[in-house]
Chain A
């Protein structure tokens, strides 16, 4: 306990000195720092902040020190996050390398691969995207057809990936490819790391019902991949893929959080619900209560579930703290509940805002209102991406509840 107090003190002091003032201001939509070879920084302080945090390994606080991570324990990381929150520090770096690829590499990659790729992720030098889905392989991901042919010291890759987020801005893509066309479908897949800076790789953005999106199609046309970029063994890529999907599910599940229900009550301070506050603004209030009783009832149900869900995320983290286990099949539960909950959140906002939530662009609507409309449409993908809600329920039924095939 004494060590933790000391750690908190040192962390506080370090952050005080090293977190630039500009990085303690609220973030706008364009202020996310994704890293990469062509990283765009919204402000010179953002570059400085990333450098400092990257050197300390605190962009990936719990990863091992030998690969550039912070080497912090669960409790130390909790303190770090609390202290970052206390000064309202912006995240120094956001990336799929941190959320998805890194944990899988730490578990499956060779020593050389870890030494090469993990520090780049920690420092934000390389920006990664994910090449999983294909036009013909959505929920049935293992039916994927993009093929890699063995050419001695390298592979030649041909095929197409879809839903590759930010592919047009990324440096590298971690990709599932078919290397064993004769094997049963799960046993002929390999996990390849592909450099996108080559003529054989091209990308094309996808427009969604919500408008412009970070999603792309990515085409491989005789792309060249050195043999040392194979992670784990040949035809063993599915094991890596499954693990990585669990990390992705945890990430998407986190989006179901927030909202009034989960707000913590500070001493002598009234609690509030973001949703209810908004509904009062748009739908009116009477004597401090939401004027529309039916809407009020729906928001209360939503807040209760949201509160219960955030407690469950916390409980899972407290329970896994001692056992030190990675994500479990129960991550499907969080993915299912979190994405369904996030969809419901936006449906309720739309209901609360009435016609104010129905603008597409231009006059008559505030920027925040227009953003909510777009985000409402965007949330429809939450229960599809990273495995549909139906696929999550299948996984819970089979792997958690052990129901018969």
Chain B
């Protein structure tokens, strides 16, 4: 796969960089966080992203999108990650859109065009426990004529508190742990019987707990074939894991650069603290680790667009490696800032908070190490 971006991807990355520095620097994140906005993002900013065409990057041209690919949207997310830009872009334009692409033509046409034109917000309800596990699903959809009735509970639904449509993974047959019997449905967020409880997370973004109590959904809203959604789920998760790794990389790089600047400014014992070998070596190790992360991310995000046959393993490679290094960098960054590193006034602590939430999205480093080993035959 390519280990350097092409012109198109560089263009998207540059415009996202400009957007982030002009419209959503970390002061924007703080404004939203400290405001009364419950959704944890600014609708105006969201609409600007929509008008730039970012929600359509994974959408085929026939539905109004640009089809610029996973590497394109991931490059944008990396830049937005640098300033911790809050928005439902990941949950809508990456996860949601990738799922809807497997729906029937009418649903695709309806939902995808609204995502591109109006910024219809999507979310994916999959988790049912405290740790990511796409097979640990008991939430049930029972067939009733032309409809299904869905019952069960979901947690940690990213941006789920204020989405317009919920895509839910549930069982039409099979037991918890089985790959067979999983099905996907598109449900209206305000459907009868669906209770959405927004949860404000430590990174000041929203997730949601959802309770489905006999929520009626038409069989037209089934994505893929009944009981055969496992492969769709895994392939969409892999795209999403690669994309969120890119966002995490952006955040980690920014935290690192902020810290490097601080090492060059701050004086103690009559010297810049960056002249101390105890700090220099740790900074150099982080530099090396981040270089490795860049390679994993770019290899992973380009593999989907270039038809690579190792995309699953590369997604786990990226998520495992970047998750670990983001922890290293966010912990070290706070430590190297000393006392001000634990104050709310300085940005560096915000990256620490984001690191912990982002790592849990669709599998933490341990989950992906295990998966990498399985995919490598041990």
Contact = CB atoms under 8 A, between A and B. Distances in A.
Interface of A: 260-261, 264-265, 267, 270-273, 276-277, 279-280, 285, 288-290, 296-297, 299-301, 303-305, 307-309, 311-312, 314-315, 318-319, 330, 333, 336-337, 390, 392-394, 396-398, 400-405
Interface in B228-242: none
B327 interface: no
B370 interface: yes
B26 to A, nearest CB: 23
Contacts of A333: 284, 287-288, 291
Contact of B284 (A265, A318, A393): A393
A394 B294 CA distance: 22
A305 B292 contact: yes
A404 B377 contact: no
Nearest to B2: A318
B287 A311 contact: no
Contact of B280 (A265, A267, A300, A403): A403
B320 A311 contact: no
Given A303-B372, A404-B264, A289 B378 contact: yes
A189 B374 CA distance: 54
Interface of B: 2-4, 260, 263-264, 271-272, 274-275, 277, 280-281, 283-285, 287-288, 291-296, 298-299, 309-310, 313, 317, 320-321, 369-370, 372-378
B275 A403 contact: yes
A396 to B, nearest CB: 4
- Which of A296, A301, A390, A401 has the most C-beta atoms of chain B within 10 angstroms of its own C-beta? A401
Contacts of A400: 284, 287
Contacts of A393: 280-281, 284-285
10 contacts: A288-B377, A289-B378, A300-B372, A303-B372, A308-B296, A309-B292, A333-B287, A397-B280, A401-B283, A405-B275
B369 A403 contact: no
Contacts of A276: 373, 376-378
A318 B280 contact: no
Given A273-B378, A337-B288, A394-B277, A311 B299 contact: yes
Contacts of A264: 310
Nearest to A400: B287
Minimum-distance CB pairs A-B, first 7: A397-B280, A276-B378, A396-B284, A311-B295, A315-B3, A308-B292, A403-B274
A277 B260 CA distance: 41
